[in-house]
Chain A
Amino acid sequence: DADVTQTPRNRITKTGKRIMLECSQTKGHDRMYWYRQDPGLGLRLIYYSFDVKDINKGEISDGYSVSRQAQAKFSLSLESAIPNQTALYFCATSDLGGAETQYFGPGTRLLVL
């Protein structure tokens, strides 16, 4: 079984709709991250959380919100989706310390019409 899972894997929605992307991990890591990836722009950090009671904004948090329901679960919400939020979204986890790499989920491909 995969260590980091994301649901759904693909999603098409309409402008103005609220949607939630979910991430679960079995690695026992404290740190979880949400990124979006657009062609030519690399991975950009949306939000990150270092434990259940810790939520931090990343580079591009506007239009997004998150919830850390448990150590293993970190959800990303788009309150009112817009077309420029069409992207590939990745969840990632890491353990404490800078030497620990991030482990990525398989990604969610979102299309906002």
Chain B
Amino acid sequence: GQNIDQPTEMTATEGAIVQINCTYQTSGFNGLFWYQQHAGEAPTFLSYNVLDGLEEKGRFSSFLSRSKGYSYLLLKELQMKDSASYLCAAVDNYGQNFVFGPGTRLSVLP
């Protein structure tokens, strides 16, 4: 079967660092995406990992461990505008199917 799990909600303070975890089980694997989604809006692409390790992109970094079926998204220097849902999605072989987690709603407090 296919299953993606992430925490439902998280809260952090402006200027802090937060780590959002994602565990996955899929039939075949061809990469892990992270998306940001503000309330009522479309998801937008943040990062893609297919090999083990850390990918850094400005304030956002994403990590993947294929052997553990685990990824995390790290957000540094949090800003109020980072309050949003963060979606983890695994892609099966050949990119035929994206399986999304339930999303983690992050609230950044002043």
Contact = CB atoms under 8 A, between A and B. Distances in A.
A4 to B, nearest CB: 8
A42 B103 contact: yes
Interface of B: 4, 8, 30-31, 33, 40-45, 48, 50, 87, 89, 91-103
Contacts of A97: 95
B73 to A, nearest CB: 15
24 contacts: A35-B100, A40-B8, A40-B102, A42-B100, A42-B102, A42-B103, A44-B100, A45-B99, A90-B43, A94-B95, A96-B95, A97-B95, A98-B50, A98-B93, A98-B95, A99-B95, A100-B95, A101-B45, A103-B45, A104-B44, A105-B42, A106-B41, A107-B41, A107-B42
Interface of A: 33, 35, 40-45, 48, 50, 58, 88, 90, 94, 96-107, 109
Nearest to A97: B95
Nearest to B31: A98
Contacts of B45: 101-103
Contacts, number: 60
Nearest to A4: B42
A48 to B, nearest CB: 8
A100 to B, nearest CB: 7
A75 to B, nearest CB: 18
A96 B95 CA distance: 8
A53 B30 CA distance: 25
A109 B102 CA distance: 18
B97 A45 contact: yes
A41 B41 CA distance: 16
A44 B97 CA distance: 11
Contacts of B50: 98-99
